[in-house]
């Protein structure tokens, strides 16, 4: 079986990646391999086409390939909350929480990921056209094997963008190199309150897989829950995974990033989250109707979320 993620050298989808590398999928009887497919909408398109069995990606992006939540569902969360950071060039003089700093700036963001930033800025009374804010793909972040966060950090360092909206690994690299300043970290309270529930990192599968092989879906959830528990018990296990898959410098950073994320390691998907996510999806034009909780989430497996 195959599990697609849109970014590999990252903490964003690390529970899914570690579930493969630490053997928890295997422990549950599933032979799962990782596929890096960028950007995230292509992950879900691959799942729709049957090229992969699971996607570990942003929850709202299911709608890229399954409009109105038809024929796919979220199985479980990898971690709670919208997990991207707004980072600006250090020489601009940005400070934490100063959303107005984006006026007149070029911000790099991946397709579908950018929707969260656009809606957040609108909620913070930033008008992209009036305030001359450009949000566009990061130069060089195209093609197979792209790791977006690291590419964004490099583009920031080279002055090709003024800021980026990307994962914690890219953020950490930019901050440690002295080229970036964190302006927004939504998970930890920055930005308008509803932004937390715009999306989160989840694992999704098609209705076909869920209906025809519910034991496979259940095993995948158990593997994620076991991985979350193992990393909570010993975050340093992340380093071994990083050393297999990441460049050396980033491999030594991942355990600390995972440690910071542990408070958000909860596999549950609440009705309140789905309400917030679907409101966001309607606001940005990727969802038309009111979608019930049970249509977006495989609630039959809710008993597995707590392990």
- Are both 265 and 183 inside the same structural domain? no
- Are both 218 and 190 inside the same structural domain? no
CA torsion 63-66-67-71 (nearest 10°) is: -130
pLDDT of the chain, 307 residues: tens digit per residue: 999 999 999 999 999 999 999 999 999 999 999 999 999 999 999 999 999 999 999 999 999 999 999 999 999 999 999 999 999 999 999 999 999 999 999 999 999 999 999 999 999 999 999 999 999 999 887 766 778 889 999 999 999 999 999 999 999 999 999 999 999 999 999 999 999 999 999 999 999 999 999 999 999 999 999 999 999 999 999 999 999 999 999 999 999 999 999 999 999 999 999 999 999 999 999 999 999 999 999 999 999 999 8
Tokens at residue 164, please?
A: 């980026």
- Are both 181 and 212 inside the same structural domain? no
Q: Of 145, 163, 196, which one is at a domain's C-terminal end?
A: 196
CA distances (Å), 295 to each of 206, 274, 276, 291, in order? 12, 10, 15, 7
- Are both 260 and 232 inside the same structural domain? yes
The residues pairing with 86 across neighbouring beta strands, listed in sequence order, are 165, 184
Q: Of 146, 170, 196, which one is at a domain's C-terminal end?
A: 196
Residues spanned by the domain of 77? 2-81+199-304
- Are both 74 and 175 inside the same structural domain? no
For the chain, what percent of residues have pLDDT higher than 90? Answer: 95
Exposed, middle or buried: residue 288 (CB in 10 Å: 0-12, 13-18, 19+)? exposed
The pLDDT tens digits for 234-277 are 999 999 999 999 999 999 999 999 999 999 999 999 999 999 99
Cβ neighbour number for residue 235 with a 10 Å cutoff: 18
Distance CA 8, CA 292 (A): 32
Q: Of 169, 196, 223, which one is at a domain's C-terminal end?
A: 196
Query: Looking at the 3D structure of the chain, how many domains does it have?
Result: 2
Which pLDDT belongs to residue 271? 98
- Are both 94 and 183 inside the same structural domain? yes
- Are both 178 and 249 inside the same structural domain? no
- Are both 70 and 215 inside the same structural domain? yes
- Are both 94 and 190 inside the same structural domain? yes
Q: What CATH code is carried by the domain that includes residue 75?
A: 3.40.190.10
Cis amide prior to 39 (ω within 30 degrees): yes
- Are both 101 and 116 inside the same structural domain? yes
- Are both 230 and 293 inside the same structural domain? yes
**Burial profile 192-217: b = 16 or more Cβ within 10 angstroms, e = fewer:** beebbbbbbbbbbbbeebbeeeeebb
Which pLDDT belongs to residue 19? 98
DSSP one-letter code for 191? S
CA torsion 205-206-209-211 (nearest 10°) is: 120
Distance CA 237, CA 190 (A): 29
- Are both 216 and 300 inside the same structural domain? yes
């Amino acid at each position: 079986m195959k599990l697609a993620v849109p970014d590999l050298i990252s903490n964003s989808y690390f529970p899914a990646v570690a579930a493969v590398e630490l053997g928890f999928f295997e422990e549950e009887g599933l032979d799962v391999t990782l596929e890096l497919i960028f950007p995230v909408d292509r992950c879900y398109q691959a799942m729709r086409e049957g090229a992969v069995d699971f996607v570990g990606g942003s929850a709202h992006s299911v709608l890229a390939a399954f409009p109105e939540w038809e024929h796919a569902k979220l199985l479980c969360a990898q971690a709670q909350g919208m997990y991207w950071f707004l980072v600006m060039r250090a020489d601009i003089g940005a400070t934490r929480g100063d959303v107005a700093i984006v006026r007149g700036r070029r911000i790099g963001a991946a397709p579908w990921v950018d929707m969260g930033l656009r809606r957040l800025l609108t909620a913070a009374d930033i008008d992209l056209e009036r305030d001359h804010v450009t949000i566009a793909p990061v130069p060089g972040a195209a093609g197979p094997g792209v790791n977006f966060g690291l590419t964004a950090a490099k583009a920031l360092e080279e002055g090709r963008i003024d800021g980026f909206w990307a994962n914690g690994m890219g953020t950490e690299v930019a901050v440690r190199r002295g080229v970036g300043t964190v302006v927004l970290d939504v998970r930890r309270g920055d930005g308008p309150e509803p932004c937390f529930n715009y999306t989160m990192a989840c694992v999704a599968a098609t209705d076909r897989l869920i209906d025809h092989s519910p034991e496979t879906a259940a095993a995948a959830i158990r593997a994620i829950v076991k991985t979350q528990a193992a990393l909570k018990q010993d975050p340093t296990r992340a380093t071994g995974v990083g050393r297999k898959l990441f460049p050396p410098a980033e491999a030594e950073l991942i355990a600390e990033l995972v440690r910071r994320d542990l408070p958000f390691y909860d596999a549950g998907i609440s009705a309140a989250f789905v309400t917030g996510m679907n409101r966001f999806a309607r606001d940005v034009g990727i969802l038309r109707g009111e979608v019930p909780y049970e249509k977006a989430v495989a609630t039959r497996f809710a008993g597995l979320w707590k392990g």
